Amino acid sequence: MKLVRFVIFFDMPAALGAGMRRWMAGVFSWAVICLMAVMAAGLSSCGSDNTFTINGKVEGFGTGNLRVVYFDKGAVQSMSVSAVDGAFSMTGRSEQPVMARIYTGSGRWLATFIARKGDKLEAVIDVANPMKTEITGSKENERLTEFLKAHAGAELNGDPKASKALNADIEAYIAKNPDHLASGVLLSDFYSYDGSERQALEALNSLGNEVKTVCTLATLADALSPMAEEADSLRLEPFAIYTSSGKNREITPDKAARTVIMFTDADARVSKPLTDMLAKVMPHVSGDGWQVADISVDTDTMTWKKSLREIADSADFKAARYPAIIRAWAPGPYNISAFERMPVGRTPWVVVTDSTRRVLYRGESPSEAARALGL
């Protein structure tokens, strides 16, 4: 809205008495003040009508910081939100619909929602299971919630059978509803790409243009295309990472019989599927020349190092010969060029290679990684 300047000219007849002239001047002054107040209110509404709000509760979270991230105006918008006993409130701005994600302060993904200007959304989020997320207040989010509630038993725990079943239902939903923004969210955040790159690419290509734009799926398309075409010939190049000893170390898959790369956060690092896999893998580190690297995607080194201290006292990790694991920190796995063609999805995310650098497995299931290793 352009600011229009009003100039009011008036000349009071000399025949009017001084009191009347003062009274009329007062009337005109109040008229101008009221006019300016109306204009200010109009300008204020023009400036704020691109806002959206989401109020909610993260059950099981307690008190701490959350981070809300979305893409708008060609850039990533990120803001920190305080949660008290899990309750939070956030206001964002965007002229166009956006897909926004909610993370814990340590970077663990909790939920994804769709926001349009003017939306007033309500959220109930289960810290242990994103499939139990309920977000209401708009048709797009209610569609997403309806699908998630129907699949709330399918926890994203790396079970390959559960992942395939969930994938099939997401593909069926997209086929029926290619123009629903919920379809884009389901494909981007709830679909398991491991071994299903071609199907994911087909589903992606069938989505409407607005869905692709709002849900920022262009990057996913770039990543899936080579993965779908070269799934059997992927090679992991050597790369350097910052380790817990405070030094950079190069990981060279061709120098070991088997290499196991795990991307983890504070929660995934002590998950039972991962510790079960490590218990099987670690005896081969000294006996067969295998190497294992745990790459933290925690948002800061303090969270990472605190987690390492807790792991050092964990009976599970002592049994898995904790000192033999290369502990490293790389909060932006996409910045590691070696992983550009095999992007990290959820945590834990495991990549297994042989001595020729050939990728034997990449995905979210530690049990499938162990199977690829013949364990």
When mean pLDDT is compared across 74-78, 199-203, 261-265, the lowest value belongs to 74-78
Residue 115 forms part of a structural domain: yes
Contact 204, 217 (CB under 8 A): yes
Q: Residue 110's domain is classified under what CATH number?
A: 2.60.40
Residues 306 and 188 in one domain: no
Residue carrying the six token digits 């204020």: 44
Give mean pLDDT, residues 322-350: 72
Give mean pLDDT, residues 46-73: 82
Residues 250 and 336 in one domain: yes
Query: Is residue 280's pLDDT more than 60?
Result: yes
Residue 23, domain extent = 1-48
Query: Is residue 236's pLDDT more than 50?
Result: yes
Q: Indicate the residue among 231, 248, 282 that finishes a domain.
A: 231
pLDDT category, 202, cuts 50, 70, 90? confident
Regarding pTM above 0.75, the answer is no
Number of domains in the chain: 4
Give mean pLDDT, residues 318-336: 68
Which pLDDT does position 26 carry in this prediction?
A: 42
Dist CA 203 CA 217 (whole Å)? 11
Q: Indicate the residue among 95, 113, 138 that finishes a domain.
A: 138
Contact 301, 107 (CB under 8 A): no
When mean pLDDT is compared across 214-218, 219-223, 272-276, the lowest value belongs to 219-223
Residue 246 forms part of a structural domain: yes
Give mean pLDDT, residues 264-293: 85
Residue 65 forms part of a structural domain: yes
Residues 41 and 76 in one domain: no
pLDDT category, 290, cuts 50, 70, 90? very high
Residues 70 and 92 in one domain: yes
Query: Is residue 241's pLDDT more than 80?
Result: yes
Residue 143 forms part of a structural domain: no
Residue that wins the pLDDT comparison between 225 and 291: 291
Which pLDDT does position 198 carry in this prediction?
A: 80
Which pLDDT does position 33 carry in this prediction?
A: 38
Look over the chain and give the mean of its residue pLDDT values, rounded to a whole number: 76
Model pLDDT for residues 88-125, shown as the tens digit of each residue: 999 998 888 888 888 887 667 888 999 999 999 999 99
Model pLDDT for residues 133-166, shown as the tens digit of each residue: 899 999 999 999 999 989 887 655 556 677 788 8
Which pLDDT does position 8 carry in this prediction?
A: 28
Residue 40 forms part of a structural domain: yes
Q: Indicate the residue among 231, 252, 272 that finishes a domain.
A: 231
pLDDT category, 218, cuts 50, 70, 90? low
CA end-to-end span of the chain: 66
Residues 164 and 192 in one domain: yes
Residue 149 forms part of a structural domain: no
Q: Quick one: which of 295, 282, 291 has its CA closest to 330?
A: 295
Residue 147 forms part of a structural domain: no
Residues 245 and 352 in one domain: yes
Give mean pLDDT, residues 264-277: 82
Residue that wins the pLDDT comparison between 106 and 15: 106
Q: Residue 257's domain is classified under what CATH number?
A: 3.40.30.10
Which pLDDT does position 183 carry in this prediction?
A: 94
Dist CA 154 CA 170 (whole Å)? 12
Residues 134 and 179 in one domain: no
By percentage, how much of the chain surpasses pLDDT 70? 72
Residues 91 and 189 in one domain: no
Contact 167, 191 (CB under 8 A): yes
Alpha helices in the chain (DSSP H): 18-48, 139-150, 160-176, 181-185, 197-206, 209-214, 218-229, 272-281, 283-287, 301-312, 315-319, 366-372
Which pLDDT does position 365 carry in this prediction?
A: 83
Residues 256 and 342 in one domain: yes
